[in-house]
Amino acid sequence: MMLSAVMEDYIKAIYHLHKENEERVRTSEIADELDVTAPTVTSMLDKLEERNLIERKKYKGVSLTAHGKRVALEIIRHHRLLEAYLTEHLDYSWAEVHEEADRLEHHISDEFVTSIAAALDDPETDPHGDPIPNSTLELPDGGPGIALSEFEEDTIVIVEQVSDRDSEVLEYLADHEITPGTELTVREVAPFGMITVLAGDNDQPVSLPQHIAHHVRVATVEPAQVFY
Amino acid sequence: MMLSAVMEDYIKAIYHLHKENEERVRTSEIADELDVTAPTVTSMLDKLEERNLIERKKYKGVSLTAHGKRVALEIIRHHRLLEAYLTEHLDYSWAEVHEEADRLEHHISDEFVTSIAAALDDPETDPHGDPIPNSTLELPDGGPGIALSEFEEDTIVIVEQVSDRDSEVLEYLADHEITPGTELTVREVAPFGMITVLAGDNDQPVSLPQHIAHHVRVATVEPAQVFY
DNA sequence: TTTAGGGATTAGGGATGTCTAATTTAAGTA
DNA sequence: TACTTAAATTAGACATCCCTAATCCCTAAA
Ligand SMILES: [Mn+2]
Ligand SMILES: [Mn+2]
Ligand SMILES: [Mn+2]
Ligand SMILES: [Mn+2]
């Protein structure tokens, strides 16, 4: 059963939207995500249902079947391994990789995937901190972290993952050393939600509007790791 | 002007057939090369002509315009750099690279091309000995070599290039050390054209039917390089 | 319980790339 | 020169993926 690149993008979009919503994914959400019109989505959903990739309640939305989930995880594995490989071995900046990976993910063979995974020593996360499904498509455990926007002043946290969607934001974050692994100290939380942090070795604090801070996911530092 | 992957394959096919034939390339040749029917080719030729990629005399065949040639060389650069990169950095065998490169050549960005060219230190030939157009699309000079099938007994030659089309033949040649750079001694030329050579450090002679030997291109060894 | 509004689907059409069957053309042969 | 035949093109169709316009369905508010 060969899937087109377009079908794979629909499956991946449904998977990601599913994560965010828990519930069924609606036609209009998919249309927004993929920048197509609602009727286009409806007709694609017909085809995906025929192929047993999704389950559907008409007018109510869709969810992935076990088969659909496998396809999604395979594409996501491709995407994140590509991002890691481009960053590690081909000098791509942290902010540029997403677009290239989003195209190539549909066109690489199993052999290519195996080769880059081996060259990277089977990494567990991509450059943005997102988990990479292993060769049997299981996701490494470790929760999704907590949004930076949840924290109060004077908390110390470690960045686990940043959203890889907007490359301008990504560039801003990278420039200010807000990358997976960096320790952040929350300095100020403004009433309108803007959060100001001290990042890594940087002297200058960085301010992030709430909607940006929402896409930086962090872990709290264990007491044992804080040295007074 | 964005070209589809399919259009790019037509342009590349026309370029390669042009090389072999010198004359105009005919519909049926393209159909054979790309494994489609003649009417399919005709309708694609209409589109390529509209886009000024080919010149055409109806019922007589086509040739590439300057613009078409540039497109062809760009795809060929992608293809051969990919082959070199997959072989050098991702452990692909000499025989497996062609298929992967034939797909990816249409989907990589300029940035990707630049990165792999840099990682390879701007190579002049691919693993099969084919010349790689440089970043301004000029082919390095150095002729196409002479077919091994042209030589007589007791000649010493160096392999310059082998056809990368048939991966089984390629595997056979690689297994017997007939690769670009290897020195060959022609041992016997049978009346029906089969040629038997001693390759590299190998003790066992290797026999190649005429049609295979025709696709191994070699250079004669300069007198100065032969040590008595 | 009816109805308005918004989201989803159906209807119909366009572009791309492929096919088979029918027709036309070129070119060699008689 | 006329005929034959192989190659190329035209005609018409289908699958995929997209669109706009029209219609249908669900739900929440009156
Ligand atoms: Mn994609
Ligand atoms: Mn990522
Ligand atoms: Mn190709
Ligand atoms: Mn090659």
The rounded distance, in Å, linking the Cα atoms of A46 and A23 is 20
* Cβ neighbours of residue A226 closer than 8 Å, sequence gap 6 or more: A156
* Contacts for A168 with CB less than 8 Å, ≥ 6 apart: A95
**Of A19-23, A134-138, A155-159, B93-97, which has the strongest mean pLDDT?**
A134-138
Query: Ligand 1 centroid vs A102 CA: distance in angstroms?
Result: 4
The pLDDT of residue A201: 80
Q: Do A111 and B118 touch (CB under 8 A)?
A: no
Read off the pLDDT of residues A96-143 as tens digits, 9 standing for 90 and up.
899 999 999 999 999 999 999 999 999 999 999 999 999 999 998 877
Rounded mean pLDDT of B22-47? Answer: 95
Indicate whether A228 pLDDT > 70.
no
In angstroms, what separates the C-alpha of B117 from chain A's closest C-alpha?
10
DSSP A20-80: HHSSPBPHHHHHHHHT--HHHHHHHHHHHHHTTSEEEETTTEEEE-HHHHHHHHHHHHHHH
- Chain A residue with minimal CA distance to B110? A100
B46 touches strand D (CB under 7 A): yes
Out of A96, A99, A112, the one facing B100 most closely (by C-beta) is A112
pLDDT score at B222: 64
Please answer whether residues B31 and B41 qualify as being in contact, where contact means their C-beta atoms are separated by less than 8 angstroms: yes
Contact predicate A160/A129, CB 8 Å: yes
| pLDDT at res. A223 | 56
Rounded distance from Cα A99 to ligand 1 centre (Å): 8
- Answer whether A118 sits within 8 Å of B91, measured CB to CB: yes
| Lowest-confidence pick of A50-54, A157-161, A172-176, B44-48 | A172-176
What domains are defined for chain B? 5-64 (1.10.10.10), 146-220 (2.30.30.90)
B89 to chain A: nearest residue by CA? Answer: A119
Q: What mean pLDDT is predicted for residues A18-36? A: 90
pLDDT of A193 over the 90 cut: no
State the nearest residue by CA to the C1' of C17.
B40
Nucleotide nearest to A6 (CA to C1'): D17
Tell me: pLDDT of B226 over 70.
Answer: no
Greater pLDDT, A144 or B81: B81
DSSP A150: G
Q: Mean of the per-residue pLDDT values for chain B?
A: 91
Of B226 and B153, which is predicted with more confidence? B153
pLDDT digits (tens, 9 = 90+) for B98-133: 999 999 999 999 999 999 999 999 999 999 999 999
Could you tell me which residues are beta bridge partners of residue A56?
Answer: A62
Summarised one tens digit per residue, pLDDT across range B150-183 is 888 888 999 999 988 888 888 888 888 899 989 9
3-state secondary structure of B177: coil
Q: Whole-prediction pTM value?
A: 0.91
Out of A53-62, A213-222, B180-189, the most confident range is A53-62
Pick A170 or A63 by higher pLDDT: A63
